[in-house]
Amino acid sequence: MAQRAQTGSVRLSRGLLLLWALLWTGLCQAGAEVEGFTQDARTSPPVAVFNWTAQLVEETYTNITQKCWEFFVDLMRNVTAPELCEWKVISRPYSLLQACLEGWADHLRYGYPNALAERYIFQSHHRYFHNCTLEHQVYFDPPEDVLLAMIIAPICLIPFLVTLVIWRSKDGKAQP
């Protein structure tokens, strides 16, 4: 078990380094389209101005999310079938996928949650976690409108029943 954990951490370190290198080179290549140079006449050297159109941001985010997914799949190769439903085992790869998708969306100002990120999250559930079931049934509160009806109905029924009892008792005749 210790050998497996050590191998996993080495693979994780190499994987993170590889992911960082791939993403960095991808961003450098994506930003290679330079619209022009601007220069402050006083002190600044020429600065490249990038035209980050929505299409370019979306394309960049699409490429990055694919790398996030590939990294997640690589991490999940170390997880055996019986361990797929153990949160202690899958929480790290799952959290890294979510952090990668959210972090790059924030970095690119793309907006999160978004359809592409949701697709990868759903894909992870469909591919890896579809056979996970809860051992104990979890009970949830009913929707607010149902809960409100269940509370108000008996409260409104009490005055009606009291009125009915008083009205029937005013008759004064003994009931057989």
Region 55-84 average pLDDT: 93
Residue 129 confidence (pLDDT): 86
| pLDDT tens-digit map of 2-17 | 444 444 444 545 555 4
CB distance 34 to 70 below 8 Å: no
Residue 64 confidence (pLDDT): 95
Distance between CA atoms of residues 48 and 106, nearest Å: 22
pLDDT of 27 higher than 90: no
Radius of gyration of the chain (CA): 30
Region 149-160 average pLDDT: 92
Instruction: Provide the phi-psi class of 170: left if phi over 0, else alpha when psi is between -120 and 50, else beta.
Output: alpha
| pLDDT tens-digit map of 32-62 | 443 443 444 444 444 444 557 888 999 999 9
Q: Which CATH architecture has domain 58-129?
A: Orthogonal Bundle (1.10)
| pLDDT tens-digit map of 106-128 | 999 888 999 999 999 999 999 99
Region 73-99 average pLDDT: 92
Region 89-96 average pLDDT: 94
| Alpha carbon separation from 122 to 27, 69, 74, 77 (Å, rounded) | 26, 12, 17, 18
Residue 36 confidence (pLDDT): 40
Average pLDDT of every residue of the chain: 76
pLDDT of 91 higher than 70: yes
Over pLDDT 90: what percentage of the chain? 45
Tokens of 101: 């998708």
Residue 126 confidence (pLDDT): 92
Residue 44 confidence (pLDDT): 44
